[in-house]
């Protein structure tokens, strides 16, 4: 009996102790995020934290053999690991404390990064008013790029459940791992380096390192040196001097620069963080360098400005805008507007001109917003281009919902602005004016998946120029896009060519609903490519919610004020719930898309390797949301004549899929003067040969001839075959 009492007392005592000591049952390591390439966790040096203290956590990456992730400056390609924190009120997180990187050759490039296992420490500050006994969650969303011969973007969400106590309680094993990683971090140099010009190159003087070997400098700036170039060192009275090769995009904007130098001393590896004084002549030269240097994340040379003048870019943009009107999802919107003009012209021509100008205002306003987004993001160092918003699954789903609603409206399921027979009254009213403006907005939105001929070069030119020049190109595109409708509104004689208003207008209006539904189906498919089954479910749920909201608003239209308020509130609740569900479910699944390491996936290293084998290389820059890309695949790329020609000439065909955002693809587009897809390149069989850029609209003969040129042979096309 006494033993049972003693055991029960002991058990209750241990339970009470676990409850009294916050964090005793909490884990110091998050659940792992695992892929075939990287297993990542978030590690804490504390089980319990104390008010006002600072402690260390670390993102741990266990990287599969042959793969690597990236340092703060990734080198010639790649993206550094990033951590986005969601912390309790008063808590704050410091920057990643970067270990010394390795130079990782990916011929002909060199990347800076990590192999095997790497810990990325971060310091967390606890507020002084944190209350002992509280439980807390540290949440982090991390993204990283992991590469071998192909590169795959990955991400993970991590949670650490800790507690606040009167004093800190360390997790000994975790703290030991983190402290070991911090001890191996580059230490501050006890000297100041200096950088000066030496001939066409640079000389970095490192005092006190005259006896060091295997010296290598890793600058934090990616516009300083050629990363793949050798760094020969010479020892002198002042220490060691490293000979560096200037970057092709050389740019230094400050009198000091930072970096890490690695070396061996007495056989042991060492690493130092250093600050170097920059020769003022270098800073002056960098300031005077041509405008349009590539932002840090692009890491590609800008295309020669002489390839396209401003006037040519404006003309190309205007022509591209005109052609955009013929795209399948834009044409129905514009044709219905033309039918409205035809009805209204019978009564008041001045109203028709007013509607045309309001349509122009809607187009111009939307293009200005798009230009501001593209130019602003480019200024912040993010490479985006035409149609960039369609790389977001929630926006793709929203556009699919809009297409369904337009189709239902055209079929008469509900009316906006009156029926076709009443279109004159609707357009003459205040709502009709707003309708004309919003028609311009909608026409631009539905046109963004398309790239017309001439547009590619113009948009590529726009995003590499100063903001005012880029805006001018976008406005030229807007004017070309709006020109047909505006011209029609000011030319009533053209409207008389249409039959008199009648039943044919109703039938035609209803017939145009089906291109809208077809576009919605295609957009749902795009969401499935981007986000998998979750994207399809989110799209269908959003369409269901939209239909339910339309029904609610219709039945509430004739109700009393209280009934209308309840109906609108319920509609807003449904819309909010559907929006939250879409944002949660439609998450880009780029890692799953790249699963399996498709040997035909594009990368700069893959192109170089194939050219080294003496093979011509065709690269198809495409996206699931790009209508022009899909049309080219059906009309030309999938034709048997093209497949036979590629096979006989030993052409390697690679695909660069930009359906989801990919900084490396964006950089390659910028390198060739493009801001969006499609882009088609043919590299010659000769190693290092420059690519030929093909037109944006392909034909079978064009591809066969380009393949023959790349292989150095005469083409056999339909035009010259016997």
> Which CATH architecture is the domain 593-711 placed in?
3-Layer(aba) Sandwich (3.40)
Cα angle 181, 187, 192; round to 5: 160
| Domain residue extents for the chain | 22-185, 193-287, 306-390+416-512, 593-711
Q: Which CATH superfamily is domain 22-185 in?
A: Thiol:disulfide interchange protein DsbD, N-terminal domain (2.60.40.1250)
Domain 193-287 has CATH 3.30.420: no
Alpha-carbon gap, residue 107 to 124, rounded angstroms: 39
Measured from the Cβ of residue 284, the count of other Cβ atoms closer than 10 Å reads 10
CA dihedral 319, 321, 327, 333 (to 10 degrees): -140
CA 68 – CA 115 distance, rounded (Å) = 5
- Helix segments in 21-135, DSSP class H: none
Which residue in 112, 111, 98, 257 sits closest to 186, CA to CA?
98
Burial class, 157, CB count within 10 angstroms (exposed 0-12 / middle 13-18 / buried 19+): middle
CA distance 606 to 109: 11
564 burial type by CB count under 10 A (0-12 exposed, 13-18 middle, 19+ buried): middle
Q: What phi and psi, each to the nearest 5 degrees, are found at residue 222?
A: -95, 10
pLDDT at 71: 93
> Is the whole model's pTM more than 0.75, yes or no?
no
Q: Which residues contact 142 (CB under 8 A, 6 or more apart)?
A: 40, 42, 59, 81, 82, 83, 84, 155, 156, 158
Q: How many CB atoms lie within 10 A of CB 563?
A: 13
3-state secondary structure of 154: strand
Partners of 658 in the β-ladder: none
Report how far Cα 234 is from the mean position of its chain's Cα atoms.
Answer: 43
Residue labelled with tokens 């897809």:
677
How far is it, in rounded angstroms, from Cα 379 to Cα 468?
A: 13
Q: Do domains 22-185 and 193-287 have the same CATH topology?
A: yes
Distance, first Cα to last Cα, the chain = 107
Phi, psi at 155, each rounded to 5°: -155, 165
CA distances for 550 relative to 115, 544, 559, 571, angstroms: 55, 10, 15, 8
In Å, how far are 212, 221, 400, 493 from 205, measured between CA atoms? 13, 18, 59, 78
CA dist 104 and 119 (Å) reads: 18
Evaluate whether 71 touches 101 at the Cβ level (below 8 Å).
yes
The predicted structure's pLDDT at residue 81: 94
Q: Which residues of the chain have pLDDT under 70?
A: 1-27, 107, 237, 284-308, 327-349, 374-392, 414-432, 446, 448-465, 492-505, 530, 557-564, 582-599, 625, 627, 675, 687-688, 714-722
Q: What are phi and psi of 426, to 5 degrees?
A: -65, -40
CA separation, residue 432 to residues 228, 359, 445 (Å): 61, 11, 20
Classify residue 329 by its DSSP letter: T
Residue that the structure tokens 């311009």 belong to: 440
Structure tokens given for 46: 């504390």
Give the Å distances, CA to CA, from 615 to 612, 654, 680, 707. 7, 12, 17, 11
* Dist. CA 419–CA 432, nearest whole Å: 12
Q: How far apart are CA 332 and CA 396, in angstroms?
A: 19
| Backbone torsions φ then ψ of 50, nearest 5 degrees | -110, 150
Helix, strand, coil percent values for the chain (each to nearest 5): 45, 25, 35
The reported pLDDT for the residue numbered 420 is 34
Cα(251)–Cα(348) distance, integer angstroms? 61
DSSP character string of 472-540: HHHHHHHHHHHHHHHHHHT-HHHHTTSPPSSHHHHHHHHHTHHHHHHHHHHHHHHHHHHHTHHHHHHHH
pLDDT at 123: 95
- How many beta carbons lie within 10 A of that of residue 583, not counting itself? 13
Joined tokens for residue 34? 């695992």
Whether the bond between 108 and the residue before it is cis, its omega within 30 degrees of 0, is yes
């Amino acid at each position: 009996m006494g033993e049972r009492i003693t055991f029960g007392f002991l058990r209750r005592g241990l339970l009470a102790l676990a409850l009294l000591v916050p964090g005793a049952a909490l884990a110091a390591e998050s659940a792992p995020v695992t892929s075939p390439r990287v297993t990542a966790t978030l590690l804490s040096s504390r089980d319990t934290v104390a008010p006002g203290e600072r402690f260390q956590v670390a993102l741990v990456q266990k990287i599969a053999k042959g793969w690597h992730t990236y340092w703060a400056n990734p080198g010639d390609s790649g993206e550094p690991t990033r951590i986005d924190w969601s912390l309790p009120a008063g808590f704050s997180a410091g920057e990643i404390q970067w270990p010394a990187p390795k130079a990782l050759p990916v011929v002909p490039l060199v990347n800076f990064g990590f192999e095997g296992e790497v810990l990325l420490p971060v310091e967390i500050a606890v507020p002084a008013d944190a209350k002992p006994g509280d439980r807390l969650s540290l949440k982090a969303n991390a993204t990283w790029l992991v590469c071998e011969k192909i590169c795959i973007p990955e991400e993970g969400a991590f949670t650490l459940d800790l507690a606040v106590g009167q004093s800190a309680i360390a997790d000994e094993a975790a703290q030991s791992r983190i402290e070991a990683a911090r001890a191996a971090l580059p230490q501050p140099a006890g000297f100041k380096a200096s950088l000066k010009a030496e001939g066409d190159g640079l000389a970095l003087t490192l005092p006190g390192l005259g006896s060091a070997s295997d010296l290598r400098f890793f600058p934090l700036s990616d516009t300083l040196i050629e990363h793949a170039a050798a760094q020969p060192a010479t020892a002198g009275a002042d220490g060691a001097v490293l000979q560096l090769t200037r970057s092709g995009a050389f740019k230094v904007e400050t009198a000091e620069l930072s970096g890490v130098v690695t070396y061996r001393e007495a056989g042991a590896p060492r690493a130092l963080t250093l600050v170097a004084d920059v020769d003022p002549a270098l800073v002056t030269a960098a300031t005077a360098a041509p405008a349009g240097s590539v932002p840090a994340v692009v890491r590609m040379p800008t295309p020669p400005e002489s390839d396209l003048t401003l006037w040519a870019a404006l003309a190309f943009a205007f022509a591209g805008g005109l052609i955009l009107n013929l795209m399948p999802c834009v044409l129905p919107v514009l044709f219905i507007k033309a039918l409205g003009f035809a009805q209204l012209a019978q009564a008041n021509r001045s109203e028709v001109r007013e509607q045309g100008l309001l349509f122009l205002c809607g187009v111009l306003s939307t293009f200005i917003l798009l230009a501001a987004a593209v130019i602003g993001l480019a200024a912040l160092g993010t490479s985006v281009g035409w149609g960039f918003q369609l790389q977001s699954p929630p926006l793709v789903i929203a556009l699919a919902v809009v297409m369904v609603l337009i189709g239902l409206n055209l079929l008469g399921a509900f009316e906006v602005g009156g029926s076709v027979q009443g279109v004159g009254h609707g357009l003459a009213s205040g709502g009709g004016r707003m309708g004309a403006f919003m028609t311009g907005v909608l026409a631009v939105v539905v046109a963004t998946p398309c790239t017309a001929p001439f547009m590619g070069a113009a948009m590529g030119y726009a995003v590499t120029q100063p903001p005012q020049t880029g805006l001018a190109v976008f406005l030229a595109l807007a004017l070309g896009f709006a020109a047909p409708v505006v011209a029609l509104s000011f030319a009533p004689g053209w409207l008389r060519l249409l039959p008199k208003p009648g039943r044919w207008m109703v039938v035609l209006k209803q017939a145009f609903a089906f291109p809208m539904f077809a576009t919605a189906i295609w957009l749902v498919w795009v969401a499935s490519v981007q986000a998998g089954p979750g994207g399809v479910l989110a799209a269908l749920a959003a369409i269901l919610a939209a239909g339910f909201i339309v029904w609610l608003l219709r039945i509430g239209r004739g109700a009393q004020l209280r009934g209308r308020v309840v109906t609108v509130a319920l509609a807003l609740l449904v819309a909010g719930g559907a929006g939250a569900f879409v944002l949660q479910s439609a998450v880009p699944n780029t890692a799953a898309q790249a699963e399996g390491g498709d040997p035909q996936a594009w990368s700069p290293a893959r192109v170089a390797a194939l050219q080294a084998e003496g093979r011509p290389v065709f690269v198809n820059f495409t996206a699931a949301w790009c209508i022009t890309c899909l049309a080219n695949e059906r009309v030309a790329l999938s034709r048997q004549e093209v497949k036979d020609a590629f096979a006989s000439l030993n052409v390697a065909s690679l695909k660069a899929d930009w359906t989801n955002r990919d900084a490396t693809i964006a950089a390659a587009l910028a390198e060739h003067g493009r801001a969006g897809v499609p882009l088609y390149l043919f590299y010659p069989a000769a190693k290092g040969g420059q690519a030929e850029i093909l037109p944006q609209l392909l034909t079978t003969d064009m591809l066969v001839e380009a393949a023959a040129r790349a292989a150095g042979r005469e083409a056999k096309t339909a035009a010259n075959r016997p």
